[in-house]
Amino acid sequence: MSKICWLPVFLAAVALKLSAADRADYLFLEGQKAFLGKVTIKANQARQSKELIQQRDPSLGPVVEETSGLVMPLDVEPGQQPVGNVRLDRLLNKNLALFRMKLGAHDWLLGSAVNGAANKFFMTFWAPERNKIAVLEMDFERLRGDGTTVVLDEQTSYRVRLIVNFLNPVRASTFNFEPAGATQGQSYQLKTGEFMDAIKANSYVFSARGAEFWMVYGNDIDAAAGNLAVTSSFGFIKENGMDTKLWSLAEAKLPPGGSLNVTLGSVVVRLVRARVDELTIYE
């Protein structure tokens, strides 16, 4: 499996990455804060925490992982029932239209994506007419503090900041969207939990071996061009707190008329693509 192009899991990844790698610095720089409402974070505690965090097991989530797989014939066991079946044309790029927000003078569709290599996450701002898209690379170093600015068009810029809730980084952290420069417009706050719920609502949900997975499908992001790439990927998300994970599969590895056994953590599923616009999933 190659890696995915969706910000659906990116949101969990950014929040978790901040909570783990940047927790001590963030707490210290934000000033003395109460832990569980009563414990004051001091500079020496922050330094000690940072030393411990640097020893954190890098295998802990969320992570984007490649799946192992081998292209196989279409045949399945007689009488075998699928655990899922999805029309791909109805799922395509739904991850790019999670929220509609009026930013400046115009409406924009807020979504998520990653590049084809799945090593960079992006927040996407798609014009409702689908004729242009702005992308913001989600670099947690730039998101903290004053945040970073995304230019949507010649008249519209917004500052995006991520405020991490360390007790529940995946669902209780907050994205702030504020007009930047000369832009006149509304400000917004969105919880990362709202993003996760929107991702799930715009994905195909199935269960295999007792585990729930969210499947997304869409174009990769061409970071150099700041636009959608011609390539596409499938993504499989499993929400599990700090162990939230995303597995990805380049569409080119599962052409129409083929099937593929893929490993999603401890679960192996078989993907059968009998037609270009349909995917069937078996345990």
Q: Select the more confidently predicted residue: 21 or 235.
A: 235
Query: Is residue 153 one of the residues assigned to a domain?
Result: yes
Query: Is residue 244 one of the residues assigned to a domain?
Result: yes
Nearest to 220 by CA among 110, 103, 95, 104: 95
DSSP assigned state of 150: E
Query: Is residue 75 one of the residues assigned to a domain?
Result: yes
Kindly report, residue by residue over 71-116, the tens digit of the pLDDT: 455 565 656 899 999 999 999 999 999 999 999 999 999 998 877 7
Which region holds residue 210: left if phi is over 0, alpha if psi is between -120 and 50, else beta? Answer: left
Separation of alpha carbons 157 and 161, rounded Å: 13
Element (H, E) at 200: helix 192-201
Question: Is residue 74 within 8 Å of residue 257, measured between CB atoms?
Answer: yes
- Structural domains in the chain (count): 1
Verify cis geometry, omega within 30 degrees of 0, for the bond prior to 62. Answer: yes
Tell me: pLDDT of 24 over 50.
no
What is the mean predicted confidence (pLDDT) over 237-243?
88
What is the mean predicted confidence (pLDDT) over 253-261?
90
What pLDDT is attached to residue 74?
A: 57
Query: Is residue 1 one of the residues assigned to a domain?
Result: no
Separation of alpha carbons 154 and 94, rounded Å: 26
Question: Is residue 216 within 8 Å of residue 112, measured between CB atoms?
Answer: no
Tell me: pLDDT of 168 over 90.
no
Separation of alpha carbons 128 and 176, rounded Å: 21
Query: Is residue 57 one of the residues assigned to a domain?
Result: yes
Separation of alpha carbons 93 and 32, rounded Å: 42
Global pTM value: 0.75
Nearest to 112 by CA among 127, 131, 93: 93
What pLDDT is attached to residue 76?
A: 58
Query: Is residue 13 one of the residues assigned to a domain?
Result: yes
Choice among 21-30, 128-137, 211-220, 246-255 with the minimum mean pLDDT: 21-30
Domain interval for residue 136? 7-282
Tell me: pLDDT of 217 over 80.
yes
Neighbours of 221 (CB within 10 A): 28
Q: 54 in helix, strand or coil?
A: helix
Query: Is residue 2 one of the residues assigned to a domain?
Result: no
Task: Tell me the two tokens of residue 92.
Answer: 């395509």
Separation of alpha carbons 162 and 148, rounded Å: 10
| The most confident of 25-39, 46-60, 74-88, 130-144, by mean pLDDT | 130-144
Across all residues in the chain, what is the average pLDDT? 78
Query: Is residue 92 one of the residues assigned to a domain?
Result: yes
